[in-house]
């Protein structure tokens, strides 16, 4: 299944308490269980004003269904086409 990055603009999210983030995460997981195996939340990165979520999903539509059911904003969905890291550069000689 494809991998997606979802951008969510959430004012002041970086200052949310651990309890607030836990509640949001629990809500998300509950909805994911209802949607079934066509969507999986991998992880999310919380910045001061935005959350970047990594999902594996059958398509964008199911990501939007998840967001709508949970009341989560979806400002952008981007399908991951490749993953690169330092090893992509090849073997370093020296």
Q: What is the DSSP string of 22-46?
A: HHHHHHHHHHHHHH-TTEEEEEEEE
Which pLDDT score, from 0 to 100, does residue 90 have? Answer: 79
Query: Average pLDDT, stretch 62-91?
Result: 93
> Does the CA dihedral 41-25-78-42 come out positive or negative?
negative
Q: Which residue has the higher pLDDT, 89 or 69?
A: 69
**pLDDT tens per residue, range 5-26:** 999 999 999 999 999 999 999 9
> Model's pTM, two decimal places?
0.89
Predicted pLDDT at 88:
86
Q: Tens digit of pLDDT for each residue in 26-68?
A: 999 999 999 999 999 999 999 999 999 999 999 999 999 999 9
Determine the pLDDT at residue 60: 97
Residues 51 and 92: their CA atoms lie apart, in Å, by 34
């Amino acid at each position: 299944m494809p991998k997606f990055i979802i951008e969510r603009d959430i004012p002041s999210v970086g200052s949310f308490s651990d309890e607030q983030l836990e509640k949001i995460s629990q809500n998300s997981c509950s909805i994911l269980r209802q949607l079934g195996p066509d969507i999986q939340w991998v992880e999310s990165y919380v910045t001061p004003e935005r959350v970047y979520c990594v999902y594996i999903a059958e398509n964008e539509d199911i990501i939007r269904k998840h967001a709508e059911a949970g009341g989560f904003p979806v400002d952008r969905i981007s399908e991951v086409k490749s993953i690169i890291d330092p090893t992509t550069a090849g073997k370093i000689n020296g």
